[in-house]
A and B are shown apart, each in its own frame.
Chain A
Amino acid sequence: MRGAGLLAAVLYPRADRVVPPSGHTARLTIFTAAAMAFLAVFALALSLATGRLAERWASELARTATVRVSAPQGQVETQLRAALEVLRTTPGVASARVLDEAEERALLEPWFGPDLPLDTLPIPKLIEVIEGEPGIDAEGLRLRLRAEAPGAVLDDHTRWRQPLVKAADRLRMLGLVAIVLIAGATAAMITLAANSALAANGQVIRVLRLVGARDSYIARAFVRQFTLRAFAGALAGTVLGVAAIAFLPDAETAGNFLTGLGFRGAEWLWPLAIAPLAAVVAFVATRVAAFRVLRSLT
């Protein structure tokens, strides 16, 4: 029913003719819708990017673990072999391999620079463990390692993975809350603009009622104006927002911050929903405001 009303309000071209064009209100509404759509694009991009991040961390890190082997010089190889044997016979371990010197150097390079003398430092050896199905029993594995390779310590990443995934999830939620707030603020501002337009057009309303106009006809005139303005403004704001996102520095060159604030693949279609959503918000806000004002008039 509401959808039909929206369609009628937008498609009925003569309805808003009875309301005089108001340049000031029109410009404000269009600007507000454009600004809100611009912000909504960023909130959407943030939400999608953090969603990807949370998903990646949750899926990638959940399937990996690390065994760190620290032992006195001369016992490292023995402990390493023992740990690998434990891992080989542990259910749920898909594969386990020792990181070579180049990989360890690459891991430490950001902190110690490229010329780190690994052979002279007591750097523990690292075993990368890839989990299979149904996953490993971390506590059981720790007990076995303690018994058979005392220098080996299992790190299943849970300690630091969970807060990161939680933080990413919260960021995603913040993005969604921001979108809801933007929609609410848009509705509030359009309601104020509609109230102002209705108050300024008292004579128009009186004349229309005198000639037998129903409240729905009068409301439709205002609703159509505000719906089209909100749609046009939101469309412009969306285009600007998407362009700004498209021209953001590449995620790789910017140091791979998060997973890159932007859209990937089909995600570029999401901003297309912003302008119609703004139109729906404007339609509902103006309709509610118009009927409330018209009911209050005798």
Chain B
Amino acid sequence: MIELKDVSYGYGGSDLLSGVSLSLQPGSFHFLTGPSGSGKTTFLRLCYLDLMATAGRVELFGQPARKMTRDDIAHARRRIGVVHQDCQFLDHLPVSQNVALPLEVAGRPENPADLEELLAWVGLAERADALPPELSGGERQRAALARAVIMSPDVVLADEPTGNVDWEMSLRLLSLLVELNRMGKAILIATHDLNLIRAAKKQVSARVLRIRDRQLQLAGADL
């Protein structure tokens, strides 16, 4: 679904990532680790073409990125759910409308019952009418997750999805992602939380990747 082959990305004459390759297949579960500033967020942005690789080949759903038009990219993003670390929303719209935003931009009808069920699934049923600035960090993460999955995407990319929440909430978010994975979605989570990775490995078969020295490596058995 998402394929990166010998991809490099850099700016100002130096590479942040060099020759990285990854193939995200249906039902796969990957963690991406590495120290802060190692390029985890950059790697995720390359995956949904928020950044364009300076070298190598990126394919989204069989289409080479370099041949995709802006509209092609927009359509591809409808098949990728993204949870950002900073969880940006349209602050003037209530949570329910923010979560349903992908449906609206795709011109798909919104089923109120489905939306209600999704909000209940992420524990935000009571906060449907709240505005994003009124949400706590954990609630924002869950709202972002709900928005990421409302289109039933093929891939979910999550960047530090538990960065702003306590351990209990982290486990709850993880269980949501695991549940999605069991539904056949490909999951890629960028995190430096090793405890989260260990907790996940008890539930799913996950591959752990590490960015070190601008390269993508398979992490060892220490995890």
Contact status A211-B71, CB under 8 Å: no
Complex CA gap A14/B75 in Å reads 20
Q: Is B106 an interface residue, CB under 8 A from the partner?
A: yes
Given contacts A17-B93, A18-B93, contact A213 B88 (CB under 8 A): no
**In the complex the two chains form, is B88's CB within 8 Å of A14's CB?**
no
- A140 contacts chain B at the CB level, 8 A cutoff: no
Chain B 59-101 interface residues, beta-carbon cutoff 8 Å to A: 70-71, 74-78, 82, 84, 88-93, 97, 101
Task: Please report the C-alpha to C-alpha distance between residue A133 and residue B179 in the assembled complex, in whole angstroms.
Answer: 96
Residues on A with C-beta less than 8 A from B75 are: 212, 214
| A206 CA to B50 CA, complexed, in Å | 10
Q: Which residue of B lies closest to A203 (CB)?
A: B88
Bound-state CA distance A259–B106 (Å) is: 58
Q: Are A207 and B101 within 8 A (Cβ)?
A: yes
Contact count band on A: 10 to 19
A18 and B70 contact, CB distance less than 8 A: no
Q: Which residues of chain B are near A206, meaning CB under 8 Å? A: 88
What is the chain A residue whose CB lies nearest that of B97? A17
Which of A20, A21, A210, A217 is packed against the most chain B CB atoms within 10 Å? A210
- Would A214 and B70 be within 8 Å (CB), given that A17-B93, A207-B88 are in contact? yes
B90-122 vs A, CB cutoff 8 Å, 1 = contact: the mask equals: 111100010001101110000000000000000
Complex CA distance for A24 and B91, rounded to whole angstroms: 18
B76 partner residues in chain A, CB cutoff 8 A: 212
Which residues 203-233 of A have a CB within 8 angstroms of B? 203-204, 206-215, 217
Bound form: Cα–Cα A21–B91 in Å:
11
Cα-based distance from A22 to B78 in the complex (angstroms): 29
Min CB–CB distance A101 → chain B (angstroms): 82
By a CB distance below 8 angstroms, the chain B residues around A217 are 105
A215 pairs with B70, CB closer than 8 A = yes
Which residues on B sit within 8 Å (CB–CB) of A215? 70-71, 74
Contact mask A10-24 → B, CB, 8 Å, 1/0? 000010011011000
Q: Judging by beta carbons under 8 Å apart, are A208 and B91 in contact?
A: no
Q: Which residues of A contact B82 (CB under 8 A)?
A: 210
Given the complex, which residues of A lie within 8 Å of B97, measured CB to CB?
Answer: 17
Of A21, A210, A214, which is within 8 A of B88 by CB?
Answer: A210
- CA gap between A147 and B182 in the complex, in Å: 116
Report the minimum CB–CB distance from B132 to chain A (whole Å).
Answer: 10
Q: Closest 4 A-B residue pairs measured CB to CB?
A: A212-B78, A213-B105, A20-B92, A212-B77
Question: What would 8 A/B residue contacts be, using CB atoms closer than 8 Å?
Answer: A18-B93, A20-B92, A203-B91, A207-B89, A207-B90, A212-B151, A214-B71, A215-B74
What would 18 more interface pairs be, CB under 8 Å, given A18-B90, A207-B88, A210-B77? A14-B104, A18-B93, A206-B88, A207-B101, A209-B50, A209-B74, A209-B77, A210-B50, A210-B82, A211-B78, A211-B101, A211-B105, A212-B75, A212-B105, A212-B151, A213-B74, A213-B105, A214-B70
